[in-house]
């Protein structure tokens, strides 16, 4: 697959989930985890990992790769090694937390990124991946049971006074 073909795929995937939650995200929100991932018969920890991985893929990894591509002296070969190692691992982890479709898309990104020949090409590809990953993350956030946090309220503390 060429870079332009992958960018088109990522854009189609993003548009497909713009207003419609991916089935696999809805499923993990119901506790339907294909690999049975979860500790002690629950799936909250799996959702926690899914949310964290989706957030860091978009907000840290793809965003950071774009920023590095724009830096003087950026090295394409090193960026490709980082992508294979770290983004490839994240793809496997998406499968582990019940998002095999997302995992496959990320693996495709890794393969196409590895074939890029310029920093500009890698930046364009990663920009499309960032846009898709942000939307995926939004849906994972949507199914996350944020209300569970109400059971972990911080204790009220007395106001500290400044020491003169």
- The predicted-structure confidence for 38-94, as pLDDT tens digits, reads as follows 888 899 999 999 999 999 999 999 999 999 999 999 999 999 999 999 999 999 999
The average confidence (pLDDT) of the chain is: 94
Give me 147's structure tokens: 């209300």
Q: Specify whether the CB–CB gap between 56 and 86 falls below 8 A.
A: no
What's the rounded Cα separation, in Å, for the pair 69 and 55? 20
Looking at residue 164, its pLDDT comes to 61
Q: Is the predicted pLDDT of residue 26 greater than 90, yes or no?
A: yes
Q: Is the predicted pLDDT of residue 106 greater than 80, yes or no?
A: yes
Task: Name the helix (H) or strand (E) containing 90.
Answer: helix 88-96
**pTM, rounded to two decimals:** 0.90
Percent of the chain with pLDDT over 90: 84
Q: Where are the domains of the chain?
A: 3-152
43 SS3 class: coil
Task: Name the helix (H) or strand (E) containing 127.
Answer: helix 119-143
| Terminal Cα-to-Cα distance of the chain (whole angstroms) | 67
């Amino acid at each position: 697959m060429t870079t332009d073909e992958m960018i088109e795929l990522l854009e189609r995937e993003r548009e497909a989930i713009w207003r419609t939650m991916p089935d696999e995200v809805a499923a993990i929100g119901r506790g339907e985890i294909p690999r049975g991932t979860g500790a002690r018969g629950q799936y909250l920890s799996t959702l926690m990992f899914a949310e964290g991985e989706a957030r860091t893929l978009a907000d840290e990894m793809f965003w950071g790769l774009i920023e590095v591509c724009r830096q003087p002296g950026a090295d394409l070969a090193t960026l490709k090694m980082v992508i294979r190692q770290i983004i490839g691992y994240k793809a496997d982890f998406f499968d582990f937390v019940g998002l095999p479709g997302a995992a496959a898309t990320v693996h495709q990104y890794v393969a196409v990124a590895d074939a890029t020949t310029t920093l500009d090409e890698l930046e364009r590809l990663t920009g499309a991946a960032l846009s898709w990953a942000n939307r995926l993350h939004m849906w994972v956030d949507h199914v996350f049971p944020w209300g569970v946090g109400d059971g972990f309220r911080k204790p009220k503390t007395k106001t500290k006074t400044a020491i003169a």
